[in-house]
Chains A and B, each alone.
Chain A
Amino acid sequence: EAGVAQSPRYKIIEKRQSVAFWCNPISGHATLYWYQQILGQGPKLLIQFQNNGVVDDSQLPKDRFSAERLKGVDSTLKIQPAKLEDSAVYLCASSAHSTGAQNSPLHFGNGTRLTVT
């Protein structure tokens, strides 16, 4: 099966600019996640979608970050305006889990490395 696709792989922007990342999950996976991974740290969940509804966005900085998953398939994460501390790898993951499959693992894309200067 095709894996989780993310683009772009790398992005360099100046602070206060905007940026968008795209993710296409594994076909049929209902749950999609965006994680932020700062250098030297573990991934931190930003937002979780179940189909096209938001399950958890408690750690998403909503004043600058937004995400959508139209039609319950691919997703876009946007940052506007970017800050220096947003420099990180943004990982998209998908999972087949539903209420009956809580043990389903996450399948990750290769991430987008964002550098804010």
Chain B
Amino acid sequence: AQSVTQLGSHVSVSEGALVLLRCNYSSSVPPYLFWYVQYPNQGLQLLLKYTTGATLVKGINGFEAEFKKSETSFHLTKPSAHMSDAAEYFCAVKGGGFKTIFGAGTRLFVKA
């Protein structure tokens, strides 16, 4: 069985500051890991995904995530926050059976 834990339901950063959103997972099989973003009144959109190979994954809008097997983590980062990054971010894991499990989400606030 898989599960996802996102540390921090809310994160606030200043515009131009580093964004770090934390995600830890558990999976009984090698996982596929995803980050999705949700803007108000919209569905989720894929930011990036990790399958196999390179542990540093680059996504859209300048986001990237690093897969660390030893720490069972898949934290999302962006070097410089922009006001348009304010949204809710969800980490997700897919293991055996193609079932995708989502974390509870982290809402990112960006201060001017």
Residues of A bordering B, CB below 8 Å? 4, 31, 33, 35, 40-45, 48, 55-56, 91, 93, 95, 97, 102-103, 105-111, 113
B97 / chain A contacts, CB cutoff of 8 Å: 55-56
| Candidates A33, A42, A55, A102; contact of B105 at CB < 8 Å | A42
Q: How many residue pairs bridge A and B at CB < 8 Å?
A: 61
B23 to A: closest C-beta gap in Å = 11
* Contact A56 B99, beta carbon cutoff 8 Å: yes
The size of the chain B interface, using a CB distance under 8 A, is 24
B44 to A: closest C-beta gap in Å = 5
* Contact B41 A42, beta carbon cutoff 8 Å: no
Q: Does B17 contact A (CB under 8 A)?
A: no
Once A103-B32, A105-B34, A110-B43 are accepted as A-B contacts, the answer to whether A43 and B102 lie under 8 Å apart by CB is yes
* Contact B43 A42, beta carbon cutoff 8 Å: no
Q: Does B70 contact A (CB under 8 A)?
A: no
